[in-house]
Amino acid sequence: MNHGVSRNALFDILSNIASIINLADLNERSYISLIGSPISDDGDLNKNLNGLDVRKLINMVDPVADQDYATKKYHDDNLPPAVDLGVAKESDDVIHSNNAQQSTESITYDKVKEIIVYENLKGLRVSWEFMGSDGFADSYTKIYVNGIAVGVEKFIHGDVYTLVSDDISDLSFGDLLQIYGHRTGDLDACFVKNMVISYVKFENNDP
| Res. 115: pLDDT tops 70 | yes
* d(C-alpha 106, C-alpha 190), whole Å: 8
Secondary structure of residue 181 in the 3-state scheme: strand
**The amino acid at 46:** N
Helices (H), the chain: 7-20, 28-35, 45-48, 72-77
* d(C-alpha 63, C-alpha 109), whole Å: 57
* DSSP collapsed to 3 states, 75-131: HHHCCCCCCCCCCCEEEEEEEEEECCCEEECCCCCEEEEEEECCCCEEEEEEEEEEE
Give the mean pLDDT of 193-198. 95
Whether 180 and 142 have beta carbons less than 8 Å apart is answered as yes
pTM assigned to the model: 0.57
pLDDT digits (tens, 9 = 90+) for 59-109: 778 888 877 777 878 777 877 654 454 556 667 788 999 999 999 999 999
State the CB neighbour count (10 A cutoff) for residue 85: 9
Domain boundaries, the chain: 7-77, 89-200
Secondary structure of residue 35 in the 3-state scheme: helix
Element spanning 157, H or E = strand 154-157
pLDDT digits (tens, 9 = 90+) for 118-162: 988 888 899 999 999 888 889 999 999 999 999 999 999 999 999
Question: Residues in the chain, how many?
Answer: 207
- Split at pLDDT 50, 70, 90, the class of 18 is low
pLDDT digits (tens, 9 = 90+) for 27-57: 444 444 444 444 444 545 444 444 444 456 6
Torsion on CA atoms 26, 31, 34, 40, rounded to nearest 10: 170
User: Could you tell me how far CA 190 lies from the centroid of its own chain?
Assistant: 35
Domain at 89-200: CATH architecture: Sandwich (2.60)
